């Protein structure tokens, strides 16, 4: 599994924890992907596309550099949560 896939799956968990979304399906609907796609990504048979990653970053104000493991700051705000 790609690092970016792992990070986005962690992001979904974080968004649920922060109550920004309630379910994985809500994330999928906002980003425009099927719930089955997330299942396939978890199995390693699919990956998030560049367009999907761009949509995720715009929709949830996510730092793209975090998704690719370059930075520890998840969101594009001053007091953001840092995850390794």
Q: Is residue 10 part of a domain?
A: yes
- SS3 assignment for the chain: CCHHHHHHHHHHHHHHHCCCCCCHHHHHHHHCCCHHHHHHHHHCCCCCCHHHHHHHHHHHCECHHHHCCCCCECECCCCCCECC
Domain membership of residue 23 as a residue range: 3-67
Q: What is the pLDDT of residue 1?
A: 84
Read off the CATH number of the domain in which 53 is found. 1.10.260.40
Q: What is the pLDDT of residue 15?
A: 96
Q: What is the pLDDT of residue 84?
A: 60
Per-residue pLDDT of the chain in tens (84 residues, 90 and over written 9): 899 999 999 999 999 999 999 999 999 999 999 999 999 999 999 999 999 999 999 999 999 999 999 999 999 876 556 666
Q: Is residue 29 part of a domain?
A: yes
Domains identified in the chain, total number = 1
Q: Is residue 37 part of a domain?
A: yes
Q: Is residue 23 part of a domain?
A: yes
Q: Is residue 11 part of a domain?
A: yes
């Amino acid at each position: 599994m790609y690092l970016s896939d792992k990070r986005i799956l962690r992001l979904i968990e974080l968004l649920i924890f922060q109550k920004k979304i309630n379910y994985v399906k809500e994330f999928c609907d906002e980003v425009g992907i099927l719930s089955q796609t997330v299942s396939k990504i978890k199995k390693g048979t699919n990956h998030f596309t560049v367009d999907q990653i761009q949509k995720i970053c715009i929709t949830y104000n996510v730092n793209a550099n975090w998704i690719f493991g370059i930075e520890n700051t998840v969101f594009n705000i001053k007091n953001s949560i840092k995850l390794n």
